[in-house]
Amino acid sequence: MGDARARLRDVAKVRIGAPRAPGRIRRALGARPVIAPIAEAWHLGVLLIGDDAVWATGSVLRAAEEARRGYTAESQRRRDEIRAMAFRGGFGEGETFHYDVEPIDAEHPGPLVRQGERIMVRWSPAGFLAPLDAYLDERIALARD
């Protein structure tokens, strides 16, 4: 991943957020949970590559100020709640953020699969495996354009 990070130096990163509950005193004063920034990474398809970690992509939304709306679906209401949590947590209006990401390591390889000496990536839940090197080359070329 070191080579990929070097080739991505000039590419903008996205921020990753995680839920954070207010402390006891702040909660008593009416503070609500937020999604706060925890890391920055380059988004390369099913992977988020940070300076010192790699995550499997989770969900992606844009932060937005809370607004009262009528909803036809509960899923819309939940997405808007998450957008507002991110805005309250420090993401800018309209800023894209990733959440529900999973760290990739030896015990939790996420979309990465070892086949003999090669590392492969599953680019979609039902997709075929592709060699990680070729996948990164293609995604980095797209990110740099």
Averaged pLDDT of the chain: 92
> 21 falls in which pLDDT band (50, 70, 90)?
confident
Pairwise CA distance, residues 46 & 142, whole Å: 14
Percent of the chain with pLDDT over 70: 100
What is the pTM assigned to this prediction? 0.85
pLDDT of residue 71: 79
Residue predicted with more confidence, 68 or 10:
10
Burial of 79 (0-12, 13-18, 19+ CB in 10 A): middle
Q: What is the mean pLDDT of residues 109-127?
A: 89
